[in-house]
Structure 1
Amino acid sequence: MKSVGIVGGGVSGLFSAYYLLQEGCEVTIIERGNFADGCSFGNAGMIVPSHIIPLAQPGMIAKGMRWMLDAQSPFYVKPRISSALVKWGYLFWKKSTEKHVHYAIPHLRDLSLLSKELYQELASQDDFAFGWEEKGLLMLFKNPGTRHEMEEEAAVANRSGIEARLLSGKETQALEPHVQLTVEGSVFYPGDAHIYPNQLIAGLVSYLKKSGVRFLEDNVVEDFEIQNEKVKSVKTDSGSYSFDEFVIAAGAWSPILTQKLGISLSLQGGKGYSFLAEGLETKMQIPAIMLEARTTATPMGGGVRFAGTLEIAGTDETINMNRVRGIHHSIRQYYPDLEVDFPEEEKVWSGLRPCSPDGLPYIGRVKNFNNLTLATGHGMMGLSLGPATGKLVADTIAGNKASVGVEAFAPGRFN
C-alpha cells in the first residue's frame, strides 16, 4: 500500500485524497489552516463545462489595463516589486493569442466534462448531499455591442460540443419569470450546474475522516528533505512526515512550497470576494454571470451568493471593500428589483484563486522528482475542476492510464 502525503486541503487536495483512497492508498492531508477556511468555501458554486476559453486570450490585457484605472473594477493588479509577477505578466501576454485559445479549448473541455460526470456520480451516492442542481448558466449582457462577441463565444462552444443558446432579452426573461432582468440578451448554457460549496467540503472532510484519511491541520510546511531525486519527507512546524508519494495542492501558496524544492512555478494568487444575501424575496432559479461587471449570482441555501473580481495580489489576504462595492453596485444594473444590502466587512469572504499565466492548471508529475505530483493553478475553476483533478492525480500515482489527456497541464511547461 502506497502512502501519500497531500500538502493542501482545498478542493483539489480533498478530491485527490478521495480518488487515491479508491486506489488503495494510505492518505494524509497536511493543511496550513483548518477546514473552516479555504478558497472553496466562499466559491460561487458553479460547475461550468461552458468555460472552455482560457483567461489568457486576445484583448484581455487591453481590457485589464482599462479596468485597472477604476477602484471598483472587476480586475486589478496590486503594484509591487516582484520578479515573479513580472515573469507571470510576460507569460500571460505571450499566451494571449488565438493560437493558444484554440489549443487550450479541447483540453479544458475534456477536463470539465470529466469533472461534471464525476460530480454526477458523487451526487447519486447516499454519502454526499451538496445541493447538486443542473439548471444551467446565464451569461447576461447589457450592451448591444457585446452581442457579437457572445455570438462568437456561443459558436465556439457549440463547435466544441458544449450546447450554447444565444437569447434575446425577452427570451432570457422567460427563463427567469420570477425575477426582473434588465439585459440586452444572454447566452444560456443548459449543461452547467451549481452546488453548495460549504456542504461539499464538509461532506468530503467527514467522509475522508471516516475512511481513514489522516488530517494534520494548522501545520505550516517549513521545508522538504530530498534524496536520490525523490522527496523523502516534509518538515512542518509540528514535526517531520515521510511518505512514498507527495502531492502539492496548496493553491496560491504552491510556488512558495515548490521553491523550497528548487522548482520555479509561475503562479499568482487572484483574490476574489463573495457575500451571501439572505432573506431576499426572490425566486431566482438559474446561476448567472453579469458579463460587463464580471460578477456572479448563484441561488444558494435560500439566498443568493454574489461573487466577483480578480485581484492579482500574491498571497495578500486583506479585504478591499472597494472591490466589494463594485460587486454590490452591479447587482441592480442587471436585477433592478433585488434589494441587496451592502455587506458588513465581517460578512465578506475572500479567497485566493491560484492563477497560471496561460489559464490552464498544473496537474501531473514534476520533472526531476520521481514521487512528486502537482495539482494547482486552476484559477477561478478550482471547484468546477476539482473531481477531475483528483482523478488525474490518482491515475498518476497509481500508474493508470490518464482519464483525459494531460499534456497541456504539465507543471514544467514554462521551464
Structure 2
Amino acid sequence: MSIAIIGGGIIGTSIAYHLAHHGEKVTVIDDQRSGRATDAGAGIVCPWVTKRNKNTPGYELSTRGATYYETLQHQLEAEGFGNTGYKKVGTLAISTDDNYLSQLEDELLKEKERNPGIGTLERLSKEQTKERFPPLHEQYESLFVGGGARVDGRKLQLAMQQSAQKLGVKWVNGTAKVLSTKGEAPKLEVNGKYEMPSKVIFASGAWLEELQLPVRPKHKIRPQRGQIVHLKAHGEETSDWPIIQPESSYYILSFEDSRIVVGATREDGKGFTEQVTAGGLHEVLSVTSELIPGADQYEWLETRVGFRPISADNKPVLGPLDEEHTFYVANGFGATGLTMGPYAGKLLADLVHTNQAEMDLRAFYPDV
C-alpha cells in the first residue's frame, strides 16, 4: 500500500513517522508555506491549565497528547534524533486572585486521579514564585503544575522527518493537485507528474480550503493569525524556567540561550497576511511589560507570524473523508497543534494501517 500525505507540518510529519514504523510506503508532499503553525508556534505542552470545557473529546485528545510526549521523545532519542527542544519544566499558573488559584488547585487535584500527567501540584507564595521565574512581577502568587513542558516545533518536526526518511519515507518539495472526484481512486498531480497512491491524507493546515478535495469536511477550516515575540534576556540562564500562564490566553516560555517567547495574538478575519503589525506587536509587548517589568531592556530577536487552522466548530477534524477509507484529513487543531499533533498523527497512522486506534476518533470525523 502506498500512502501520500499532503502537508509536512507537525501533524503530517507525525503521520508519516508513525506509518513508517508500521512499514508502510509513504510520500510526503509539502510546499513549505511560510506562516506554517508548526514553525511559528510557541511550544507549550500543558493542556490542564485552561478555562475551556474539559468534558469534551478535544480535551481528552489534548491530555493524551501531552502524556504521549515522553514516549515519543524517548523513541526519537533511541533513534538518534532526540534534539526536539522538549523539556518538562513545569508551569506556573499565576494570579493576584487567591480564590482563582485555590479553585484551580482543587480542580486539578481531583482531575489528577484520571490524568496523572498533571504531575506535582504546589502552591507558591509571591517570593517562591519569583524564585522559580526571577524576572516576573512581584505581585503574583502561583500554582506550580509539574507536568507542564515545552517543545520546539521546528526541531520536533525535523527530528521526526529525519527519522521517517531513514525508514524510507520520501519527502517531495512541491504542490499537489487532487485530480480525483468522489468515488474515484486517488490521483494526484505533483510537480507536473501523475501519482496514483492507494490512500491520500490531507494535512495541509490552514490552507486546506485551497485543495480540491473529492469530499469536503462538514466544517470549513479558516486561518487565525498569531504574532509571537522572541526576546533575549542577556546574562540569564533561562533553560529551566517554567512556563508562565496567567488567567488570560497569553503565556511566556523560555528556552536555552536566554530566549524568552511571549504570545500570542489571536486574529480572525485577517486571511494569510504575514506582516508583523504595529497593533499586534504593541499588544504582545504590553502584556510582556505587565508580567516582566524589566523586559523593556531585553533584546528583540524576532516576531513570528503563523496561521492556526481553526474549524468552524472549533474542534479537530481527524479521520476518513469517504466510506471506502481512501481519503483522510487531519486538521483544525488551532492553538493546540503542538500539544495534540504528534499523538493525533499516531492515532491516524494506526487507523490507516489497522483500521483501529487506541482512542475513539469518531467525534472528530469530518462528517460530524
Q: TM-score, normalised by structure 1?
A: 0.77
Aligned twin of 1:103:
56
> Aligned in 2, Cα 1:230/1:148: closer, same or farther, shift over 3 Å?
farther
Counterpart Cα distance in 1 of 2:296 and 2:179:
51
User: Which amino acid in the other structure matches residue 208 of structure 2?
Assistant: S
Counterpart Cα distance in 2 of 1:291 and 1:281:
25
> Aligned in 2, Cα 1:307/1:264: closer, same or farther, shift over 3 Å?
same
SS of corresponding position for 2:211: helix
Aligned twin of 2:346:
391
Shift, 1:335, TM fit? 1.7
User: Which amino acid in the other structure matches residue 207 of structure 1?
Assistant: S
User: Which amino acid in the other structure matches residue 206 of structure 1?
Assistant: Q
Whether 1:412 and 2:367 are equivalent positions in the alignment is: yes
Residues 274 and 350, structure 1, Cα contact 8 Å, conserved in 2 = yes
Residue ranges of structure 1 left out of the alignment (5+ in a row): 58-100
SS of corresponding position for 1:179: coil
Counterpart Cα distance in 2 of 1:52 and 1:108:
11
> Aligned in 2, Cα 1:253/1:156: closer, same or farther, shift over 3 Å?
farther
Whether 1:365 and 2:297 are equivalent positions in the alignment is: no
Matching residue within 239, 242, 263 for 2:196: 242
Shift, 1:115, TM fit? 4.2
Aligned twin of 1:79:
none
Aligned twin of 1:182:
138
Counterpart Cα distance in 1 of 2:16 and 2:271:
25
Shift, 1:16, TM fit? 0.6
Q: Map of 1:193-204 to 2, 5 A cutoff?
A: 193-204=149-160
Aligned twin of 1:170:
127
Shift, 1:27, TM fit? 1.0
SS of corresponding position for 1:384: helix
Residue ranges of structure 2 left out of the alignment (5+ in a row): none
Shift, 1:196, TM fit? 2.5
Counterpart Cα distance in 1 of 2:122 and 2:56:
24
Q: Deviations over 1:102-132 (max 9, x none)?
A: 2334443234323443234334542331222
Shift, 1:149, TM fit? 6.1
Shift, 1:262, TM fit? 4.0
Shift, 1:15, TM fit? 0.8
Matching residue within 265, 268, 282 for 1:325: 282
Whether 1:207 and 2:163 are equivalent positions in the alignment is: yes
> Aligned in 2, Cα 1:120/1:48: closer, same or farther, shift over 3 Å?
farther
SS of corresponding position for 1:338: helix
> Aligned in 2, Cα 1:157/1:138: closer, same or farther, shift over 3 Å?
farther
User: Which amino acid in the other structure matches residue 126 of structure 1?
Assistant: G
> Aligned in 2, Cα 1:165/1:150: closer, same or farther, shift over 3 Å?
same
Shift, 1:7, TM fit? 0.7
Counterpart Cα distance in 1 of 2:279 and 2:214:
35
User: Which amino acid in the other structure matches residue 248 of structure 1?
Assistant: F
Counterpart Cα distance in 1 of 2:345 and 2:129:
36
Residues 35 and 305, structure 2, Cα contact 8 Å, conserved in 1 = no
Q: TM-score, normalised by structure 2?
A: 0.85
Residues 166 and 188, structure 1, Cα contact 8 Å, conserved in 2 = yes
Q: Deviations over 1:308-361 (max 9, x none)?
A: 1111236423333311211111112112233455848xx321111112345432
Matching residue within 242, 246, 259 for 1:291: 246
